[in-house]
C-alpha cells in the first residue's frame, strides 16, 4: 500500500467523537521535548488510530469524562528519541508503520495509547474496559498511573499488571480480566 503524506492540517481531523488525530499523534513527553514530525505514513496505522478512539477512548470518555492521552502514536523517528525501557516491537504504539527493511515495527499491528481520566482511578477505567470493550492488551501500572491500552487484530483481551520490583524494574504479571473487577469493583 502506498504511504500517506500527512500535513499538520490533517491532524485536526476528527478521530472518534471526542478526539482529533493530533490528540493521538502530537502528544507525550518525548514529542513535547523534541517536536519532530510524528506523522503516520501507513493507511492501516490511521485506520487503527480511529478504531482505538472509537472502540476504547470514546466509550471511556462517555463513561468517565475526557481522557488525557499521555503517549499515543510513535513514528520510527520519534521512537529513536524515547529514553528508557520501551519495546517498540511489542508495544503497538507504532501501529502498522514500517522499519527501513520493510517489516512492521510491531508485528502485532493494531494501535496503542497510554491515557488516564483526571480524577478517576485507573483501575476503575481498566475494569470498565475489560468488562465490555473489545481490546487487545491492557498494561496496568497502578491506580494513579496512565493505562496502556491497545486494539489489534489479535484481540487477545489480555491484562498485564506491571509491578515494580525491589530494583525498580517493572515485572509483568498476566492477569485475567476478572482480576480487575475483584480489585476495583465499585463500592456498594
DSSP one-letter string for 96-119: T-B-TTSSBSSTT-SEEEEEE-TT
For the stretch 5-36, pLDDT in tens is 888 889 999 999 999 999 999 999 999 999 98
Backbone angles phi, psi at 70, to 5 degrees: -105, -20
pLDDT at 83: 80
DSSP letter, residue 144: T
Binning pLDDT at 50, 70 and 90, where does residue 188 land? very low
Report strand pairing: 19-20 vs 137-140: unpaired
Q: Is the pLDDT of residue 151 over 90?
A: yes
Compute the distance between CA of residue 16 and CA of residue 131 in angstroms, rounded to an integer.
Answer: 21
Q: Residue 22 contacts by C-beta under 8 Å, 6 or more apart in sequence?
A: 11, 12
**Residue 45 DSSP SS3:** helix
Percent of the chain with pLDDT over 70: 97
The pTM of this model reads 0.92
Residue 41 C-alpha from the chain's centroid:
18
Q: Residue 41 contacts by C-beta under 8 Å, 6 or more apart in sequence?
A: 3, 4, 5, 6, 75, 97, 98
Q: Is the pLDDT of residue 165 over 70?
A: yes
Report strand pairing: 111-116 vs 170-175: unpaired
Q: In terms of residues, how long is the chain?
A: 188
Residue ranges per domain, the chain?
8-184
Percent of the chain with pLDDT over 90: 76
Nearest partner of 146 among 117, 168, 174, 170, judged by Cα: 117
Q: Is the pLDDT of residue 103 over 90?
A: yes
Binning pLDDT at 50, 70 and 90, where does residue 186 land? low
Q: What integer best gives the mean pLDDT of the chain?
A: 92
Overall average pLDDT of the 39-49 stretch: 96
Nearest partner of 148 among 156, 140, 158, judged by Cα: 140
Binning pLDDT at 50, 70 and 90, where does residue 187 land? low
Compute the distance between CA of residue 24 and CA of residue 118 in angstroms, rounded to an integer.
Answer: 17
Overall average pLDDT of the 147-171 stretch: 93
Amino acid at each position: 500500500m502506498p504511504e500517506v503524506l500527512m500535513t499538520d492540517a490533517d491532524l485536526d481531523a476528527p478521530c472518534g467523537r471526542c478526539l482529533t488525530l493530533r490528540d493521538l499523534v502530537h502528544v507525550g513527553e518525548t514529542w513535547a521535548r523534541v517536536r519532530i514530525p510524528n506523522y503516520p505514513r501507513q493507511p492501516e496505522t490511521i485506520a487503527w488510530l480511529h478504531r482505538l478512539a472509537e472502540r476504547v477512548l470514546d466509550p471511556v470518555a462517555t463513561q468517565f469524562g475526557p481522557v488525557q492521552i499521555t503517549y499515543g502514536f510513535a513514528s520510527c523517528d520519534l521512537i529513536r528519541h524515547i529514553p528508557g525501557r520501551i519495546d517498540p516491537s511489542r508495544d503497538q504504539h507504532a501501529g502498522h508503520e514500517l522499519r527501513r527493511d520493510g517489516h512492521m515495527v510491531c508485528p502485532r499491528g493494531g494501535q496503542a495509547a497510554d491515557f488516564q481520566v483526571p480524577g478517576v482511578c485507573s483501575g476503575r477505567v481498566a475494569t470498565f474496559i475489560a468488562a465490555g470493550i473489545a481490546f487487545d492488551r491492557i498494561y496496568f501500572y497502578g491506580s494513579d498511573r496512565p493505562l496502556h491500552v491497545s486494539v489489534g487484530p489479535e484481540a487477545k483481551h489480555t491484562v498485564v499488571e506491571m509491578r515494580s520490583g525491589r530494583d525498580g524494574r517493572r515485572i509483568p504479571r498476566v492477569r485475567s480480566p476478572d482480576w480487575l473487577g475483584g480489585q476495583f469493583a465499585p463500592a456498594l
